[in-house]
Amino acid sequence: METPEDISKAMEIVPIMEAFIKQVKAVVKEKLLEDPDSIPGFKLRGSGKVTSYEASKVAEILMSTNVVTWDDFLKACRYSEQPMVTVWADKRGISKAEARKDLKKRLADVSKESPKSPAIIKDNG
């Protein structure tokens, strides 16, 4: 892969290779989950644990200590749009689409958008 043309040709097969790799890994994982000795030379390893907390219960416990303020607590939390869309729709008696639109409008002044990492696509032009 020395020339741009060589790199372009190699890039053409990347989506196929990625799909193949994903499929192979899924099959291997399924087999190893069924029988840890089923694929010679490979095994599953634990990948740790994810800890999550219910924000309302955390707030109740931490606020009872009188150590942190509501502002401190909220600065440590992250707002997720989708769960609030459901709550907002239910509480207001509107559709989720209407709730999403209403929330976006209400929260426009406090929102911040960041660009996602660019993706490579085939230029068919």
d(CA 77, CA 74): 5
Give me the pLDDT at residue 1, please: 82
Give me the pLDDT at residue 63, please: 95
Give me the pLDDT at residue 110, please: 92
Give me the pLDDT at residue 122, please: 84
Q: Which tokens go with 71? A: 């502002």
Q: Which residues of the chain have pLDDT under 70?
A: none
Q: Which tokens go with 104? A: 């976006």
